[in-house]
């Protein structure tokens, strides 16, 4: 049965460390969760991921453009218009489980910036 968990923004290498404040949560956490992950089982080597649809995640993802980490996990066509308010995941990305429980992007999630 598929399981869902949530992680905050990744680092610049496209890795979610999954430790401390950046640890996975089985429940969405307002003000922390930015990405939603889905796995087929607890020991699954891969996960599907997308940007969460809530306001915090949207603002964090848009802010991540300036910080640079969005490019490491999201594919998008051109820079978004200045009045963009939302990030819509068009296709899920794929992440690979690393030793120690971290997740590393293998295929970026395709996103669109919406005004």
pLDDT for 44-101, tens place per residue? 999 999 999 988 898 888 888 777 888 899 998 877 888 888 888 999 999 999 998 9
Which pTM was predicted? Answer: 0.91
Domain span at 89: 3-114
Residue 114 has pLDDT above 90, yes or no: no
Walk across the sheet containing 86-91 and list its strands: 74-75, 109-114, 86-91
Indicate the number of domains in the chain: 1
Residue 3 has pLDDT above 80, yes or no: yes
- For 9-55, the pLDDT digits (tens) are 999 999 999 888 788 999 999 889 999 999 999 889 999 999 999 88
């Amino acid at each position: 049965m598929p399981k869902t968990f949530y992680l905050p923004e990744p680092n610049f290498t496209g890795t979610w460390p999954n430790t401390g404040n950046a640890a996975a949560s089985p429940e969405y956490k307002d003000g922390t969760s930015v990405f939603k992950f889905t796995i087929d089982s607890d020991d699954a080597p891969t996960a599907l991921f997308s940007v969460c649809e809530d306001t915090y995640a949207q603002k964090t993802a848009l802010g991540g453009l300036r910080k640079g980490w969005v490019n490491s996990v999201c594919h998008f066509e051109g820079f978004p218009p200045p009045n963009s308010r939302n990030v819509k995941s068009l296709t899920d990305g794929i992440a690979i489980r690393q030793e120690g429980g971290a997740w590393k992007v293998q295929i970026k999630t395709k996103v669109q910036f919406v005004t």
